[in-house]
Structure 1
């Protein structure tokens, strides 16, 4: 009788452990920190096929929220700046982790309505593209191509400097990202 009680106890313990591990695994897959609602002026809206929202069906960010993300630095030259510049901002990769896109393509739109062609999110992540909010330590203002300038690390990939399709993706006055 003791052997059957021990076997039952071991079976129940193993079952409880298995169920607990499954629940823990599932909760880690579906849990994501809620996006904070912007308290100040919204400078970036991400819309379309995203799984995390904070305002209606969009993810909206003010400057303070963007600054809470890990800042990446790109030291590079562009055809619109004189000499090497230091750009800082969150990476597209970190933003995508926050909004959990359901699609694989992205389009960027500026304040004046200019938009990039559809790009793959993987391209932006693989190149380490950032959404620069600072240049040489100063916040980008509208007259400085801000408040956000999508920046590729041109210095790390010399072929990008002469690739016109990449030049068109260095969108300044960035207002929104659309995911599909």
Structure 2
């Protein structure tokens, strides 16, 4: 009987530690840090990503008009949902922070209900800080025309440096 209890406890610990997996450490310069209610980390209670790690995640390329660009512009990057799944995010709000300390609180549903991306490239080129980079949150304005309004424009943070997952 003691053996069965010990085996059950060991099994529960194995499942628990598998759920709290570690991410691979970035090999290049860190361009995104995720904090808050996340399970998978690679630095002191945070998840950090370099360019290669973000490019390896599922994403999309889309051509659309935005209020910040002239004419149809191509954006390319990982789905916000892919990034959040990689870190095991569990929360209701994403506090997206820019290099200039601007931040926007975005409902988690915007990542799951829409094909929102963290654009790494604009018109095939990596975005510099001067050109809204390194990351620019882009809603699928090409697929969901009802998103083309001030509510979603204010959530479209550019020069993203950090996402805090808040319950």
The TM-score by the shorter chain falls in which range?
Answer: 0.7 to 0.9
Q: Deviations over 1:12-66 (max 9, x none)?
A: xxxxxxx9xxx6xx85994576311112211100001111110101000011111
Q: Which residue of 2 aligns with 1:145?
A: 132
Task: Calculate the aligned-residue CA RMSD, in Å.
Answer: 2.2
Counterparts in 2 of 1:127 and 1:71: CA distance versus 1, 3 Å: closer
Instruction: Tell me if structure 2 keeps the 8 A contact 1:75–1:153.
Output: no
Could you list the runs of 5+ residues in structure 1 that have no partner in the other structure? Answer: 1-18
| Structure that is richer in strand per residue | 2
Counterparts in 2 of 1:39 and 1:157: CA distance versus 1, 3 Å: same
Q: Which residue of 2 aligns with 1:83?
A: 71
Could you list the runs of 5+ residues in structure 2 that have no partner in the other structure? Answer: 1-6
2:134 counterpart SS class: coil
Counterparts in 2 of 1:128 and 1:112: CA distance versus 1, 3 Å: same
Q: Which residue of 1 aligns with 2:144?
A: 157
Q: Which residue of 2 aligns with 1:9?
A: none
Q: Which moved further from structure 2: 96-105 or 78-87?
A: 96-105
1:176 aligned to 2:162?
Answer: yes
Give aligned pairs, total: 157
| Structure that is richer in helix per residue | 1
Of structures 1 and 2, the larger Rg is shown by 1
Runs of 4+ in 1 over 6 A off after TM superposition: none
Q: Which residue of 2 aligns with 1:112?
A: 100
TM score, norm. by length of structure 2:
0.85
TM score, norm. by length of structure 1:
0.79
